[in-house]
Amino acid sequence: MSGFDLTGLTASFGGERVIGPLSLKVKKGEKIALVGRSGAGKSTLIRLVYQEVKSLASLVPQDLGLVNALPVFHNVYMGRLDANPTWYNVVSLMRPFSRDSREVEDLLSELGMPEKVWIPAASLSGGQRQRVAIARALYRKSGLLLADEPVSALDGPMAHQIMGLLKARFETSVIALHDVELALAYCTRIVGIQDGHVALDELSEKLTPADIMPLY
């Protein structure tokens, strides 16, 4: 099951409420874009949803969550740490199994960076780091993707390629996007966040960029 129905979501920082209370129901198979200006609460909402559905989801956080000292392989491999026994993970840290190496290399090839598999994450560009975080999410093999601006550091053609890949690989997704054109092209439903509340909730096919821009 990759859908969920959450009600009464709230978040406060420094005694000031920044989200909610709001509800978000996501049906299996939906591809949802969270849109709105910076500071509207999109990132906070992604975090709140992840706290509720953690074990069911693959996450691409805005800060990416990479371990700079580790090679790209191990950063991707961490997407499935909880699927393996501890001894297996310890051995993989020192000498990865060939099956896992091949699978990670194949993912990185799809993302246009197969030569980076054993390079430390610290040496990567911003766009490459985003793709490693995306590879980690894909490696987890979850039916649900939660992603916060996953293509913000990628150029136009690569951003389209990655969004197409995410749409194809994840049955259900909730993706915070600043790019309205990408949201309309790759998501089936648009949820607009304004001042911590849902200000728009409509099928993508019924919207144009002009309908969404007032949220910015």
Cα Rg, the chain, nearest whole Å: 18
201: left (phi over 0), alpha (psi -120 to 50) or beta: beta
When divided into structural domains, the chain yields a total of 1
What's the domain range around 9?
Answer: 4-215
Rounded Cα gap, residues 156 and 65, in angstroms: 24
CATH number where 184 lies: 3.40.50.300
Closest CA to 139 of 82, 185, 189, 192: 82
pLDDT tens-place string over residues 77-122: 999 999 999 999 999 999 999 999 999 999 999 999 999 999 999 9
CA distance 70 to 214: 43
Per-residue pLDDT tens digits for 196-206? 999 999 999 99
Entry pTM: 0.94
Q: CA–CA separation, 207 vs 25, rounded Å?
A: 20
What is the number of alpha carbons within 13 Å of residue 62 lying toward its C-beta?
A: 15
Cα 53 → chain centroid: 14
Which two structure tokens, joined as six digits, stand for 169?
């690989």
Given the DSSP bridges, would you call strands 31-35 and 16-26 parallel, antiparallel or unpaired?
unpaired
Peptide bond before 21: cis, by omega within 30 degrees of 0? Answer: yes
H or E, element range at 6: strand 4-13
For the stretch 126-174, pLDDT in tens is 999 999 999 999 999 999 999 999 999 999 999 999 999 999 999 999 9
| Residues 78 and 93: beta-carbon distance below 8 Å | no
Cα–Cα distance measured from residue 41 to residue 193, given in angstroms and rounded to the nearest whole number: 7
DSSP characters for 197-211? EEEEEEEGGG--HHH
